Amino acid sequence: MDNTPLAFSAHNHQHCVSDALQAAVNLCAERGARLTPLRKQVLELIWQSHKPLGAYALIDLLAAESTRQVAPPTVYRALDFLLEQKLIHRIGALNAFIGCPHPDHSHASHFLLCDECGRAEEIHSKTVSDSIQQAAGEAGFAVVSQSLEVFGLCPDCRADAPSHE
Amino acid sequence: MDNTPLAFSAHNHQHCVSDALQAAVNLCAERGARLTPLRKQVLELIWQSHKPLGAYALIDLLAAESTRQVAPPTVYRALDFLLEQKLIHRIGALNAFIGCPHPDHSHASHFLLCDECGRAEEIHSKTVSDSIQQAAGEAGFAVVSQSLEVFGLCPDCRADAPSHE
DNA sequence: ACACAATAGTTATAGTATAACATATCAGTT
DNA sequence: AACTGATATGTTATACTATAACTATTGTGT
């Protein structure tokens, strides 16, 4: 069994982008939320990278794709919408955004972030979530949201630069 | 047994500040690191709040305490030193800094952050750390550092605004 | 067509962080 | 005490991230 997660494995990324976009279209339709062309374009640009994308990188990409004006508030509003709909996550340590592969069910933001190649992988471990809930509960703390950012080396970058060399 | 952590409990905070400063002095002496007056002053200001303190708030406090110039690089360099010595942590989601109560042994940055009052409490749960290590390991990921930021309501703020009212 | 709400454009500015270079201080040596 | 190299701080400018406030446009239901 191969436990290596998607972002750190070879895969057809264009397929994974189009799946994510289709899922977003369906979800927003169900919710009565308007996934406008701009919002969809921003979501697509974010998905096209497995690396978290900064707001200003996004602005540059939008400017390159069209002749339209794209000032910061425009892209931040689209990002706010996508965050509200849980279609993306914000990576605090990087001031950057990345697509959420499971926008249909609410969950915490838990990421593995490679220091070397910059790729991000969302993890879903019930053990991790439960242990966090329990630790917070023992402190009398009522959890609303949680963000875990684990930095280190992904499998590929470990292989490229082993510590024993 | 009362599990309520320190920041969320009544305590003599001035005592806890002076303890932290003394510990920092001792640690830096052992390590041959120079805890200069500026660095010590920054550390003290950070400790005097249980709330994470932003760099520019710190600049204002420094300016208020002396006639000396305190431009951003000055305070950011002091913060960098304190981070290197693990005397403080950075809370990514808040762009802010807070004192580390256990600078003597390296550990992850795991915090409970109250949305209501802004206080922060560092937690140390072996279960949490281990489960994160294990989840990363299963993904073939080599952990270098980790940051957990749990948002919600601290015991006091829960009591002040119960959900059933 | 009309009216209201939601979205997007526009201008300006606030907030966070660092680059690059000049000056001052410290610790060890002569 | 003066010399030297390393470390720390001061200074100026600027880059990067994000939002406020207002205007214009687009969408939806009547």
Please give the protein residue whose CA is closest to the C1' of the nucleotide C26. B34
Q: Do B140 and A8 touch (CB under 8 A)?
A: yes
At B21, list the tokens.
Answer: 């400063």
Measuring from the CA of residue B73 to each C1' atom, give the nucleotide at the shortest distance.
C18
Q: Distance between CA atoms of A79 and A46, rounded to whole angstroms?
A: 10
Question: According to the model, what pLDDT value does residue B20 have?
Answer: 96
For range B5-21, the mean pLDDT: 84
Q: Distance between CA atoms of B27 and B38, rounded to whole angstroms?
A: 17
Question: Which chain A residue lies closest to B134 (C-alpha atoms)?
Answer: A128
Distance of A129 CA from C5 C1′ (whole Å)? 39
Q: Is A159 helix (H, G, I), strand (E, B) or coil?
A: helix
- Strand C at less than 7 A from CB of A38: yes
Q: What is the pLDDT of residues A69-113, one digit of tens each?
A: 799 999 999 999 999 999 999 999 999 999 999 888 877 999 999
Q: Do B125 and A135 touch (CB under 8 A)?
A: yes
For range A6-19, the mean pLDDT: 84
Question: Which chain B residue lies closest to A153 (C-alpha atoms)?
Answer: B142
Q: How confident is the model at residue B132 (pLDDT cuts 50, 70, 90)?
A: very high
Q: Distance between CA atoms of A101 and A86, rounded to whole angstroms?
A: 10
Beta strand extents in A3-133 (DSSP E only) = 53-54, 88-91, 96-99, 109-114, 120-122
Phi, psi of B63 (to 5 degrees): -65, -40
Closest C-alpha to B90, from B147, B157, B137 = B147
> Cβ neighbours of residue B29 under 8 Å, at least 6 residues apart?
none
Percent of chain B predicted with pLDDT > 70 = 93
pLDDT of B165 above 70:
no
Q: Which residues of chain B lie closer than 8 angstroms to A144, CB-CB?
A: 115, 151-153
Question: According to the model, what pLDDT value does residue A4 have?
Answer: 72
Q: Distance between CA atoms of B60 and A94, rounded to whole angstroms?
A: 26
Q: What is the pLDDT of residues B68-126, one digit of tens each?
A: 779 999 999 999 999 999 999 999 999 999 999 988 877 799 999 999 999 999 999 99
Q: Which residues of chain A lie closer than 8 angstroms to B110, CB-CB?
A: 135
- Strand C at less than 7 A from CB of B37: no
Q: Do A136 and B152 touch (CB under 8 A)?
A: yes
pLDDT of B164 above 60:
no
| Candidate CATH numbers 1.10.10.10, 3.30.420.40, 1.10.150.20, 3.40.50.300; the one for domain B13-160 | 1.10.10.10
At A155, list the tokens.
Answer: 């499998």
Q: Are B66 and B41 in contact (CB under 8 A)?
A: no
Question: Which chain B residue lies closest to A135 (C-alpha atoms)?
Answer: B125
Q: For the whole model, what pTM was predicted?
A: 0.90
Please provide the average confidence, as pLDDT, over all residues in chain A.
92
Measuring from the CA of residue A72 to each C1' atom, give the nucleotide at the shortest distance.
D18
pLDDT of A163 above 70:
no
Q: What is the pLDDT of residues A15-52, one digit of tens each?
A: 999 999 999 999 999 999 999 999 999 999 999 988 99
Q: Which nucleotides of C are covered by protein (CB under 7 A)?
A: 6-13, 15-20, 27
Measuring from the CA of residue B55 to each C1' atom, give the nucleotide at the shortest distance.
C16
Question: According to the model, what pLDDT value does residue A164 have?
Answer: 54
Q: How confident is the model at residue A1 (pLDDT cuts 50, 70, 90)?
A: low
Question: According to the model, what pLDDT value does residue B1 have?
Answer: 54
Q: Distance between CA atoms of B67 and A116, rounded to whole angstroms?
A: 43
Q: Which residue has the tokens 């249980």?
A: B50
Q: Which residue has the tokens 């660095």?
A: B39
Map out the domains of chain A as residue ranges.
13-160
Count of CB contacts below 8 A, A vs B? 140
Measuring from the CA of residue A92 to each C1' atom, give the nucleotide at the shortest distance.
D17
What is the number of other CB atoms lying within 10 angstroms of the CB of residue A76? Answer: 13
Q: Do A152 and B141 touch (CB under 8 A)?
A: yes
Please give the protein residue whose CA is closest to the C1' of the nucleotide C6. A34
Please give the protein residue whose CA is closest to the C1' of the nucleotide C20. B73
